[in-house]
Amino acid sequence: MTHQVDQLVAIRAQIKALQEIEAGLKTDISRAIGDDGFIIGDEWIAEQSLTTRKGGVDEKKLAAYGIDVDAFRKPDSVVLTLRTVLRASRAAA
């Protein structure tokens, strides 16, 4: 039996390889989706959406000290979310 440390290293290598494949697939799917918002596969549907998140600060506290929060705010974060849904479950919804 292979030692747990060796198993862990092997699994990490497999995960890294799979993450690289996943990244390529996500890029390809995102390009194929374009402005449509979704793409339908044989069994699954991929839906894509953009979300924007502002950095969290206690604006009321800063304003109480006379600090202009927006003058120090970092740019918004934009996250591209790619979600998969089984085709049968979308049809039932």
**pTM, whole model, 2 decimals?**
0.58
pLDDT band at 15 (very low <50, low <70, confident <90, very high): very high
**Would you say how long the chain is, in residues?**
93
pLDDT tens per residue, range 41-88: 999 999 998 888 776 778 889 889 999 888 887 788 888 887 888 887
DSSP string, 32-74: HHTTSSEEE-SSEEEEEEEEEEPPP--HHHHHHTT--GGGGPP
> Residue 11 and residue 13: Cα distance in Å, rounded?
5
Closest by Cα among 44, 17, 16 to 29:
44
